[in-house]
């Protein structure tokens, strides 16, 4: 698919939104996301620690992460550039795997504090609809999501037990 075709694809079809409410003020959630010593403690699924975590947390600064799975081999690094930073409110960065031809995504994180609780909204805009589907795991065999969830659990436990 050419870049121009990608740009014309509807934004809604290549965006994924994830929200989460934290029982904590926005400044703490922001702090936990903005410093490598904190990010290392929570990023990613259990069993996949960040073994590379470089963060130059300022607008125009770059970050570079990589995780190591149960097999002990470090996975492909990924990273990008911080585009917007608004303390305690908003972080925008682009991200992608460090491999030729890998698609990019633009991630917007916004924090909304109300009565001591913080709603985090993470919106990811993928380059193309195809990339979005690839990452989110939908689009092939629709309606079997629960089956895939179970499979993902199974795969995770197998990978763990063999690692």
Site of interaction with other proteins (CB under 8 A) = 16, 18, 20, 22-24, 28-29, 31-33, 38, 41-46, 69, 71, 75, 120, 122, 124, 134-138, 140-141, 144-145, 147-149, 151-152, 154-156, 158-159, 162
Using a 10 angstrom Cβ sphere, with 0-12 exposed, 13-18 middle and 19 or more buried, the burial of residue 107 is middle
Residue 83 and residue 113: Cα distance in Å, rounded?
Answer: 22
Least distance to other proteins, CB of residue 93, Å: 14
- State in angstroms the smallest separation of the CB of 57 from other proteins: 16
- Smallest gap from Cβ 44 to other proteins, in A, equals 5
Is 46 or 60 the residue whose CB approaches other proteins more closely? 46
Identity of the residue, 4 or 32, whose beta carbon is nearer to other proteins in the bound complex: 32
The CB-of-91 to other proteins minimum distance in angstroms stands at: 13
Q: How far is the CB of 63 from other proteins (least distance, A)?
A: 15
Q: Which is nearer to other proteins, 49 or 81 (CB)?
A: 49
Our CB check for other proteins shows the closer of 6 and 107 to be 107
Choice between 129 and 159, CB closer to other proteins:
159
């Amino acid at each position: 698919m050419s870049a121009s075709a990608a740009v014309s694809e509807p934004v809604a079809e290549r965006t994924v939104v994830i929200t989460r409410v934290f029982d904590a003020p926005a400044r703490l959630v922001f702090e936990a996301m903005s410093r490598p010593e904190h990010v290392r403690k929570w990023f990613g699924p259990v069993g996949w620690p960040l073994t590379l975590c470089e963060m130059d947390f300022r607008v125009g600064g770059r970050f570079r992460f990589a995780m190591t799975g149960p097999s002990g081999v470090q996975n492909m690094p990924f990273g990008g550039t911080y585009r917007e930073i608004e303390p305690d409110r908003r972080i925008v960065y682009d991200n992608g795997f460090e491999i030729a031809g890998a698609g990019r995504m633009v991630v917007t994180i916004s924090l909304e504090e109300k009565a001591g609780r913080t709603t985090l909204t993470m919106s990811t805009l993928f380059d193309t609809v195809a990339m979005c589907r690839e990452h989110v795991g939908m689009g092939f065999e629709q309606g079997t999501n629960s089956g895939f969830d179970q499979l993902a659990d199974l795969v995770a436990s197998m990978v763990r037990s063999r690692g």
